[in-house]
Structure 1
């Protein structure tokens, strides 16, 4: 345990069993070990060094290396300076000592049992699937919003002429490059998260588009004989199907002989999952949608604020399941009979609830720079009626805010329902672009009041009830540090009790191997803990997990990350690269900074590393394996940066 580690005793015994003060020519530390230049190696008592409490391993080569681990190594270095009166090769270790002490305190605080929460794990996976798509969501969403405003103004006769129609058409074509094929992108990213082949995930997502099906001769639902519709089952159906794909593909890799694995496994995986999608998942979604038709009609007949609340609150879950398409015939029938659909303005309130929730999150968690930046990018799109960025990258992964956002949508829907007689003359996007389509001279005012109510309702519900506990803990820690004038030191909350696993991403393009393949004996023997080895083919190194940077070594060849689940992860760039004094490394983060999985950590000139005669193998190691029940490397061989390659189950 950290509190039993005696750096002074370790330092004294290192000198004693290294042949005494006179036999140590010089010493310095790297991220994990003390490196000593020895005068006479015959005087080293290697077995005695290995028995020192707190020493994890010893390598007696050109240098004598005594491994004590991240955090502790800085304390041993300081104790050796005090004991010998000799300075190490490093300038100052004060900042690193403070970081190490803070890490030890945090580790002590995070001891204890942790509750298993599969739901939290699912939400975390959903975030990992959709966060990489945020730039495309935002860019396409803004284009879609502009196209929607132009199209709606054309429909309302405010704009006329073929030129405007052409502009709207071109913008919609660009927008459709994202939103029409969203199931494919989702399938690719979901496959990366769960360790399946990304291209197979993309094909699995494409299946729900029913490409090539003749509308005159559709595939029939096995349960009730009705025709299947494209996108039935929605994005959630795609995610479920790709999860099943990952299970099937991994099993087949185990069962199929290597000689035919590359042929049989992809074919059988796609066939089994494709059939399951078409004949089980999509029909089940259709069964649910048919049941909802009766429920929606009943709600509409009740009318008033009650109908508005129920429909406004339930619309987003329907969109996620691909069930919102059952409402199109209802819209069309209402418009043909009465000239407008009162249902669409109510459902549009769901997006307003998301916008209000996003504002609340941005205010309550203002120190979470990554979340705030993500919200800032997604908010304009959400206001324009494109809700996917806010749903999939912000509120849904956090859990509670999605529910409170739905409540906000219900509040806005209740206002619309209570006012009454607010309808849209055509089907179009929600948010502000829907205003030109509101029927009647002044009825748009009632729609705007409903939208404002949704914004306020989503904000209040989220502000008071929708902030996750782990995020609040981080925010409180950041506020405390700010008040105390602490900016550069890492501040981490206790591990959240619901965190049960951590997925590890590839830190760069390259070849993944078990850590036992390392040329460094310390890592190969798992002295520092389990993990993986990556031989990089790209110069950018990304974060393998989300967390806080607890240490950046002065020579920039290594850094440490502490996750909210309490894992301490070492990123070690090359072997023996401490000797390069930081020259090939351009650090992009600093101590105390919070990073997302997949965020750029450092740029490396690997050619310079190779020219210096150093190995480029990069080590990712969990240095507190006492917090882990199981570590599994789920992918080896060639990988792309940010692919999910390993998983650690926490105690």
Structure 2
């Protein structure tokens, strides 16, 4: 059964992103499947969000589908397995015959495509692009940090117990083995970072790994050191840290690409790697390592100074702002900072403070559970997200619970700030490795400060709970609409002798079979039970139900409604009409507005749609139809705003 679920989610994600042929590259992190999309206009965002098992979708420089920890790695592996590539490898392009291209032409074609995609998206600042690249370098290493960090934590605990005399020296060999496993990651981290940086910047991965290894200065001895050309002091292995490695590999990518262009193909495989490694190797040792060493030392010193001077205030600001960073997917950029601090001081004081953001989330969720206990749909979401929330994985709570409700997201941030203030005020709380958060971070807290971290967690739980309980509960979340029908006026219709809630046609026109709809996602009812209507040339748009407008697409081509029994109804106007940028659509409603069935909600320039070569067929979809018994109208032809398309039996 578990495999069936994984396969279903993987296939439905492909169906809603325009197929595997619309994916250029796929990786995953702790909770998200991250895809580089070739043509975003083919992505059905509403369909992705409607997939059972998907907790949320983020459209950034990569399309991020949140399926939660434990599931994400299985879904991602299934998706790349079906295509026949590995995680992070380019997907084959069926639309372009690359068999006649040289390697150089393939790289240039891909660069041109990615450049065009970036221009089509919302303008990105240079700083944001840099931070995103850094994030992409470390995302594949996060699971390794988690495993190695916990192993190192166990070794540290056993070592302390042995020093204290609580366990005997017979444990020495086990402690050594555990440390060897941990050092397999951290001792050679510069190599892994070099490889991932090369992949991110478009250089040869193996050469990026070599540049990372250069910073280890293998073969140099204390008796015959290499010297810093600026101050004459001996260089130290690892000087400049991973910040220097990332920069050096970025320069490598520039040099290598340039050499590929000017070196003849017949000798390119010999000359390009030799010159690249020689030039960048010397550049790394004598320029990057000294300069990056000063930068990394200054960065670590500045952060420690801010935390020592700012104390509780600095802790509050950092704890409160971390959730928005997670929401934007930018939190991974802190990874190199954590690693530099661990390398220089033995621990990172930032991680315990930032972990308080997850505690605020947990507190907010507990308050929602109590205050909104009649809302079964919400409490079920909270039950599913809380266990991993306690372990510091906050994305299911963010995207599934607090952020959609609005106020609880803000009060959860306040809770994170309170926890951060406690940790920052007590001071000297650090993590000896990175990876986990929440309760799972406890084994990695530096000696003697575990209780301070636990007090911070409790403060974060309490702060998020109190702030949400008294100030962050939305009124419409307190009760489940499906269980509160007796208190609201509801629209009930008679249809074929049954007592049902009805969904009416949103346009005047001709009803057509779904099999005639030229969109496989729509035709196969992936998003839910559906009916299709080809609109008349003079038809307006009408509300299909009594209820509330729950969403309006930026381009106006899709409108969501929630009716009085909790049905979620989506009206999707036309196929691929998102490409028109909203020009044909003139809506007179806004998000959150109450509407009545048959109410005119706008107009559409149907001629503009057809002249653009697009299909104006309008689909009405019950996106949560799995919760109801849906009956479709039969033998209907011409329809108008008074025609019932579907009805659902009231439980």
TM-score, normalisation: structure 2: 0.39
User: Which structure has the higher relative contact order (CA within 8 Å, separation 6+)?
Assistant: 1
